[in-house]
Structure 1
Amino acid sequence: MNKSESRKAIVIGIILLFFGMYAVSASDTLVTTNSQLMNREWLYVGGTGPGNYTTIQSAINDANPGDTVFVYSGTYYENVVVNKDNINLIGENNDTTVIDGLSLGDAVDIMSEGVTITGFTVQDDFFGIVLFPYYNNNTVIGNIAHSNLAGIYVWLSNNNTVIGNTAYSNVDYGIQVWLSNNNIVMGNTVSNNDCGIFIDSSSNNSVTENTVLNNDNGIFIDSSSYNHLTGNIVSNYIYGIWIDSSSYNDIIGNTVSDNSFGILLDYSSNNNIIGNTVSDNGGGIHLQVSSNDNDIIQNTITSNSAAIFLHTSYSNTIMENTVTHNHEEIYLYQSNSNNLYHNNLIDNYQDSYDDGSNAWDNGYPSGGNYWSVYIGMDNDGDGIGDTPYNISGGSNQDRYPFMEPNGWVNEPPDKPDKPSGETKGKINTDYIYTTKTIDVDGDQVCYQWDWGDGSQSTWLGPYDSGLFAAAEHSWSVKGDYSIKVKAKDIHDVESDWSDPLPVTMPCSYKIPMQWFWERLFQRFPNAFPLLRHLLGY
């Protein structure tokens, strides 16, 4: 090898060595960077991994928004503050991953947004988990909170989700929502607290499908509006569901049993109590002290000491409830202008009482209530007793008591048959059309016809169910029309419209020698079909 070739080989070698060193350096840098990214995405506390944190707070302090802090089973004696957004704080197992604040503060304070905390037991603290003021959109799911002043506390915080937690043996509240709106409290098990779930000065919260057992007070709504309590199971020592100084709340579809008071309203108006099952309580549904304009509808109230009790409460509607096997039926004390009708009152030990001025029926034919103790007759067969039912305590009466349970339930007539009659004719000529329908309740029916020309008949009838009804109409303008008809029963419940009958009314004009053609067509009724068509016969 000459000197030139030797020098060239040395240069190439140096270049290759340089690129090799650069490649190794770049690879090391890439590995280091990826490792850092992985550590920053998932930070581990406890366990045996090298470099794991020993406290939850130190991991959170090193975390960036969006990171996950995973905590292995163990007991951590600290007061945790989550002050970075979108942190996922995950415990390995909610039975064995414990945060114990040693009664020195709160177990977990969430002072950021978009945080999820799950899989922990929080205990022996002032509050277990606190969602702090003005931090929203957090999720508390699948935790256990016990032996705190309050288990889970939502404080001036909105749009949070508290779901699937267990809160028990807290001094005051299992779950408390104060001055907070649009939160979801769902699927939690809350037991052996002074108050299970407390909604205070808050609006538009959803309290759904929680199991609330063995608390002094179950669900307490105070000074709050537009909240929704649905599908909860509530069985406690004193109050099942207590609504105080609150309005426009929905209490729907809950099971409330074995409380001193099932559902209690104090100073509360314009609430809906609908479709609940209320049983084996001291008081079933109890309204008192200016609880006005509430709707108590379609509840099943069974085996309570007092089924429905109103005290100094006005303008409430009590309808379509089933009240059975209670000691006291419905008791109205110093309450006026309430409306009670379409209730089934069956086999209660003590009859209803009313010392005020209230309406116990909705007029005729809508009717009043069904009373299992009513002994009147129904000579006219309308399903309503011929004599009133007297309410003890004053001069109130149910003027139209039903003879059978749910006697007010009324099905609409069937859709009438498609109208039958001429489909072609002449304008300014009367034509008769017929139809019929069946009313499954056997009520008489009336018919209203729509003639397709912008006009409708008045209600015609009544006709017996199943019999033909007829109506007459003429059209003044040539054209194509669709005739339809509907029916209603004596309770003003209407059917659907019938299928339409198309009709055609051709132009009317003066036919020369009209008398001749009429006699010709009468003499030969089956002849001259084309001529008949052209002349409109």
Structure 2
Amino acid sequence: MVEKLLESVKKFFFLAFLVIAIPASIPIACAGDITVDVNGSEKYTSIQAAINESSNGDNIIVLSGVYIENLVIDKPLTIVSKTGDPTDVTIKAPLPDVVAVEIDANNTVFKGITITSYYKLGQDYGIVIMDNENVTVKNNIFTGCKKGITIIRSYNCTIEDNYMEGKKGGKGIDLYLAGNNLIRRNTITKSGGAIWEDYCEIGNVYHENNLSENWNGITLIHDSDNSLVYDNLIQGNENDGISISWADNNVIVNNWIIENGQGINIYDSKHNNISSNVVMDNTY
């Protein structure tokens, strides 16, 4: 019964994701490669300078090194470290009250890079995606960011295979008025809320994330309805493993929720399907 339910829910979310994603996809032709090297072997020593001179659909390939800059990506680009290893390329944001990487374009890919702060007290925001679709953020490292990835009014984005070590009182992945996003295989630790969903009525998918040693694991709050949460490891969080408040019609299935302050905390919410989870060794 549970397996059939999970399979049908997966198909529903996949079809919904596909139907919305197809019209939003824009064919991009004549993409070129632009190489950036902070050590001066290439034309560009700054990632932002390469972005400014690029055309829609270009690939910006970043060679190993430390880049001290805040980025604004305002056109559809792929920005990737040459080796694909995020420990080889670091963006040290020099301005703590400005977003380290601001993504303002649909169909953008950002992968294989470490984001941290030049400022000794840390970076307020790692990546912010606002009013966009089909953005992919993959295989990055976030350290010292109060908020790792913030998604606002954005849809059909994929956030996967990232590592985030946050700050107390902050959030790992923060979604606001966002829907049909896929959040999978991320590791989030030492944040205030590992995954926080607020006013997301359409729903999002959370799959195979490792959320450990945070204050809260997954929080669905304020009309955050219709999300699918499955196959996640939620362990050793100080407060709630999963918290559902004023949120309806979510599916919570096949998760490991262990050694948290409280396993699953539900407040003023209805029609949530919670089944086949392992909930054990929590204080409550």
Measured against the shorter chain, the TM-score band is: 0.7 to 0.9
Structure 1 counterpart of 2:159? 185
Residue 77 of structure 1 and its aligned partner are, at CA, apart by 3.7
Q: 1:247 aligns with which of 214, 218, 225?
A: 225
- Matched letter for residue 241 of structure 1: I
Q: 1:144 aligns with which of 79, 94, 114?
A: 114
Q: What are the within-5 Å matches in structure 2 for residues 418-433 of structure 1?
A: none
Q: 1:137 to 1:67 in 2, by over 3 A?
A: closer
Segments of 5+ residues of structure 2 without an aligned counterpart are: 1-31, 118-122
Distance in 1 (CA, whole Å) between partners of 2:254 and 2:116 is: 33
Distance in 2 (CA, whole Å) between partners of 1:76 and 1:159 is: 26
Q: 1:297 to 1:160 in 2, by over 3 A?
A: same
Query: Relative CO higher for 1 or 2, CA cutoff 8 Å, sep ≥ 6?
Result: 2
Structure 1 counterpart of 2:98? 126
Describe the SS at the equivalent of 1:304.
coil
Describe the SS at the equivalent of 2:225.
coil
Percent identity, aligned pairs only, is 27
Q: 1:168 to 1:270 in 2, by over 3 A?
A: same
Distance in 2 (CA, whole Å) between partners of 1:143 and 1:295 is: 37
- Please identify the structure whose Cα radius of gyration is greater: 1
Q: 1:230 to 1:129 in 2, by over 3 A?
A: same
Q: Is the 8 A contact 1:218 1:236 kept in 2?
A: no
Describe the SS at the equivalent of 1:207.
strand
Q: Does 1:283 align with 2:275?
A: no
Cα deviation code 1:24-45 (max 9, x no counterpart):
xxxxxxxxxxxxxxxx754554
Cα RMSD for the two superposed structures? 2.5
Distance in 1 (CA, whole Å) between partners of 2:190 and 2:102 is: 24
Structure 2 counterpart of 1:513? none
Distance in 1 (CA, whole Å) between partners of 2:68 and 2:257 is: 44
Distance in 2 (CA, whole Å) between partners of 1:66 and 1:268 is: 38
Q: 2:87 aligns with which of 88, 95, 113?
A: 95
Q: Does 1:212 align with 2:188?
A: yes
Q: Is the 8 A contact 2:70 2:93 kept in 1?
A: yes
Distance in 1 (CA, whole Å) between partners of 2:247 and 2:57 is: 44
Q: 1:86 to 1:166 in 2, by over 3 A?
A: closer
Q: Is the 8 A contact 2:194 2:217 kept in 1?
A: yes
Structure 2 counterpart of 1:264? 243
Distance in 1 (CA, whole Å) between partners of 2:279 and 2:78 is: 47
Distance in 1 (CA, whole Å) between partners of 2:79 and 2:257 is: 41
Distance in 1 (CA, whole Å) between partners of 2:277 and 2:36 is: 52
Residue 75 of structure 1 and its aligned partner are, at CA, apart by 3.6
Residue 48 of structure 1 and its aligned partner are, at CA, apart by 5.2
Describe the SS at the equivalent of 2:100.
strand
Residue 94 of structure 1 and its aligned partner are, at CA, apart by 3.8
Distance in 1 (CA, whole Å) between partners of 2:282 and 2:62 is: 49
Residue 224 of structure 1 and its aligned partner are, at CA, apart by 0.8
Distance in 2 (CA, whole Å) between partners of 1:197 and 1:293 is: 25
Aligned length: 242
Residue 265 of structure 1 and its aligned partner are, at CA, apart by 0.7
Cα deviation code 1:294-352 (max 9, x no counterpart):
1111111111122xxxxxxxxxxxxxxxxxxxxxxxxxxxxxxxxxxxxxxxxxxxxxx
Q: Is the 8 A contact 1:216 1:236 kept in 2?
A: no
Distance in 2 (CA, whole Å) between partners of 1:87 and 1:252 is: 29
Cα deviation code 1:401-444 (max 9, x no counterpart):
xxxxxxxxxxxxxxxxxxxxxxxxxxxxxxxxxxxxxxxxxxxx
Describe the SS at the equivalent of 1:292.
coil
Describe the SS at the equivalent of 1:237.
coil
Residue 174 of structure 1 and its aligned partner are, at CA, apart by 1.0
Segments of 5+ residues of structure 1 without an aligned counterpart are: 1-39, 104-123, 307-537
Q: What are the within-5 Å matches in structure 2 for residues 311-350 of structure 1?
A: none
Describe the SS at the equivalent of 2:270.
coil
Structure 2 counterpart of 1:174? 148
Q: Does 1:157 align with 2:140?
A: no
Residue 177 of structure 1 and its aligned partner are, at CA, apart by 0.9
Residue 232 of structure 1 and its aligned partner are, at CA, apart by 1.2
- Matched letter for residue 102 of structure 1: P
Residue 74 of structure 1 and its aligned partner are, at CA, apart by 3.6
